[in-house]
A and B are shown apart, each in its own frame.
Chain A
């Protein structure tokens, strides 16, 4: 059933990575991403690979799940690989036909890019696998809170994200109900030209929008009844707490990043 789909990508487990402060996890992931693109040597990629593998191991997330997260981007990987393979020219020529030349540099860069993108996806998936959407939202709100001084509506954005997350399953369920009901009235959703199919969506989209607006109105009323008045003076039930493991993890990441920068400079 549609409502059984787990929200986001969260994979609840009891591990060190799950227990980490989400703010640190976000910062670490960001540093890790920058590092992946900074490093130009095979060594920096190896460091990224070891780092990711260790993190996955500590998170107790089955490696199968990480591979699953890479699957949807396989076409992008192939495309990037091919472009690099064909466009770059340099070093030994391995194979030649008409205007196509496969060269040493092309192969190197292409493999490099593919591994880099895989690591990038694996790292970010690990963040969403180990952090529930609501905690992630809280962490983003907390990290962005200095921006409040610049009049950025940080609390409002976080509240919107929370409500969106809350209503995704409700609206998915509602969509399948409306689709079934219109099908029962003979709506044909499966055949016809693209234009006909787009037209066939009208009986589904209109009721869905109407219902979403009605829900929004009722929710706003319910929130008002519970004294909601924006982010001012608000306290939170769940406090984000950082501890020794977060500091250590951040320190390791920073050290690694520093290492990559030094390597880059030395080897150039």
Chain B
């Protein structure tokens, strides 16, 4: 059962002005519940516009967005309620922190949902734990946290709404490798625990390859493909022609295949690649 669907979806900016630009061009898409989708594409490929349409912040020029089969722009739909069900974390979300304490900031979303005090408290504490913020840090002012902590507090603010779909626009931008891994593994754990659907927009092929179950590739306002990482990386040439770099490990295995050392599976994580090589070298696998 798909949770989110796009039907013939189009968005055009500044219609009728000299700046008119179609950012999303007749897209059809169906995302199953519980999927971890990595969204990749260049700046200007329409990713951000598509994500903002999915939670009802932007109204499509034409076409539909369906949540559980219902059009979110139907007259009867409460759009604010849609935003609670499809949570969206913008780029550099730490710049939106505004409350006096981290606790209050995480509670902002749940408060807008008009939940009970006890429920808000439970949600704030649970999500704070999920992103690794301590009791002590919840009492602090947002500006007193480090860069990575601020980012995680901001993400927790959206998680606390317990959305069924969580969309994150480059949540690791500007962080160092340690900070990146921290957020991504926490996201993975959150996904496992809650079973919510995640859409992760990223420029890093390495990252999406490691965490996503499906990849959505966008280029020039269109969907190029929506498939498993194996399926997507099998079309390496079309990806590279779009200027999207494959993970280095995948490129290494492509080159090995050209030299006669080929494997059936697509390789997109180092660990898996090393396993395959070791097995082959030990001669246990008579594959080639």
Contacts and interface: CB of A to CB of B under 8 A. Distances in A.
Given A1-B19, A186-B83, A181 B112 contact: no
B95 A184 contact: no
Interface stretch (A20-28, A83-91, A206-214, A217-225): A206-214
B97 to A, nearest CB: 7
Nearest to B154: A181
A4 interface: yes
Interface residues of B, number: 27
A185 B112 CA distance: 8
Contacts of A180: 52, 57, 90
B161 interface: yes
B60 interface: no
B17 interface: yes
Given A183-B57, A184-B55, A178 B80 contact: no
B112 A4 contact: no
B108 A181 contact: no
Contacts of B19: 1, 4
A184 B57 contact: yes
A22 B55 CA distance: 49
A184 B90 contact: yes
Given A181-B96, A207-B98, A1 B13 contact: yes
Name, among B55, B95, B97, B143, the residue most crowded by chain A CB atoms within 10 Å (CB to CB).
B95
Nearest to B142: A210
A185 B158 CA distance: 7
A86 B93 CA distance: 58
Contacts, number: 59
A188 B108 CA distance: 12
Interface in B90-119: 90, 93, 95-98, 108-109, 112-113
Contacts of A211: 95
A4 B17 CA distance: 10
B43 interface: no
B156 to A, nearest CB: 11
A186 B80 contact: yes
Contact of B14 (A4, A178, A183, A202): A4
Nearest to B84: A186
Contacts of B112: 185-188
A181 B93 contact: yes
B87 interface: yes
A133 B211 CA distance: 49
Interface of B: 13-14, 17, 19, 52, 55, 57, 80, 83-84, 87-90, 93, 95-98, 108-109, 112-113, 143, 157-158, 161
23 contacts: A1-B14, A177-B90, A178-B95, A178-B96, A180-B90, A181-B93, A182-B96, A183-B83, A184-B83, A184-B89, A184-B90, A185-B108, A185-B112, A185-B161, A186-B80, A186-B112, A187-B108, A187-B112, A202-B98, A203-B96, A203-B108, A207-B95, A210-B98
Given A177-B90, A187-B108, 5 more contacts: A182-B96, A184-B90, A184-B158, A185-B109, A188-B80
